[in-house]
Amino acid sequence: MEATLKQKRKTSRFNFRGSLCMPYAVFMTLFVIAPLLLILYYAFTDANGVFTLDNWQTVFSSPENWKVIGMTFVISISTTIICILIAFPIAKILSNKKLNKNAVLVYIFLLPMWINFVIRTIGLKSLVDGATESMFGYKLTVNYPYIAIIIGMVYDYLPFAILPLYNQMLKLDKSQIEAASDLGANPFQVYVKTIIPMTIPGIVSAATMTFMPTMSSYVIANKMSNNTTLIIGNLIQNYFGTRVTDISNHIGSVLSLVMLIIIGFSIVFEKLIDKKGDEKKGGIW
């Protein structure tokens, strides 16, 4: 009896359940970590594998690239702000149990996502063009490509902004809001002093959920501007496209690293704001 128990204890020292993560760990090492290290390696080498900083110089000496990076920021930031301005009231109303029984309306907002986003973007493009052509006599995507891109991105990423805000609104402390209005705050003050501070974690995750993907979604930019306007995503894609030279992958890697750095900054920024609005939330959602 004692011997078998001892044996059992000995075998149980091998952490069977813990060992189950081995295939996962191997997969992630091969296909997530290794590729990222390859980007790092490519960014600092030339086609023969010799260390060089030329790729960085190629990227940053071109004023065109600077313009594209700047415009990407303008587009992404405007998209994020507009998305939150639209999503905030929608989320607020959807979280009202009297108006939205069983949360069915939330699903109705998410359902269009089941249709491929390229198709939806093209539909939006022809709709916007048709509308502006009949009203003002020009095509929006031809005359004002930047505005058209922002409209396209807001349309595609609005659900991603609504969801985190909605989840946050469900958790609002109703008594605090009522207390504020009972103590004489007008509706505007109630919003500024209670509701908005309490939803900051939701606003932050809505902002990251829209800001980061807008930078890389070059398909929307292509379609909404008839391939006339570039964002960072297009630049990277061009360097990895079909007609490339040996060195272009290395230059594209530099741009990918730049993007990684931007993402890193926005995560740090997110964490900083999150610490102030001391609500706990799960993960990056």
Partner 1 sequence: MEKVMSEQDINKALARKRVNAKILKVSAIGFIYLALILMYLPLIYITVFSFTTNQTTGKWGGFSFDNYTTLFNVGGNKVAQAIWGAVGNTVMVALVAALIATILGTLGAIGIFYLKRKWMKNTLDFVTQIPIVNAEIVTAVSLCILFVITARTIGLQRSFITLVIGHVVLAIPYVVISVKPKLEQMDPSLYEAAMDLGATQTQALFKIIIPDILPGILTGFLLSITLSLDDYVITAFTKPTSGGFDTISTYVDAATAKGGLPTQLRAFTAILFAVILFIMIFMNIKGARDAKKIKTKGEYRK
Q: Least distance (Å) from partner 1 to the CB of residue 63?
A: 23
Integer Cα distance of 281 and 23 in angstroms: 29
Chain positions 83 to 112 lying near partner 1, rule: CB under 8 A, are: 86, 89-90, 93-94, 96, 98-99, 101-102, 104-105, 107-109, 111-112
Contact map string, positions 41 to 80, toward partner 1, x by CB under 8 A? -x--------------------------------------
Q: Would you count residue 25 as binding partner 1 (CB under 8 A)? A: yes
Q: Which of 130, 138, 119 is nearest to 220 (CA)?
A: 119
Q: Would you count residue 23 as binding partner 1 (CB under 8 A)? A: yes
Length of the chain: 285
Contact map string, positions 134 to 173, toward partner 1, x by CB under 8 A? ---------------------x--x---------------
Q: Which of 217, 215, 208, 213 is nearest to 266 (CA)?
A: 208
* Residues 95, 169 contacting (CB under 8 angstroms): yes
* Residues 69, 232 contacting (CB under 8 angstroms): yes
Integer Cα distance of 200 and 9 in angstroms: 50
Q: Would you count residue 188 as binding partner 1 (CB under 8 A)? A: no
Chain positions 202 to 241 lying near partner 1, rule: CB under 8 A, are: 212-213, 215-219, 222-223, 227, 233, 236-237, 240
Beta pairing partners, 51: 45
Q: Least distance (Å) from partner 1 to the CB of residue 261?
A: 11
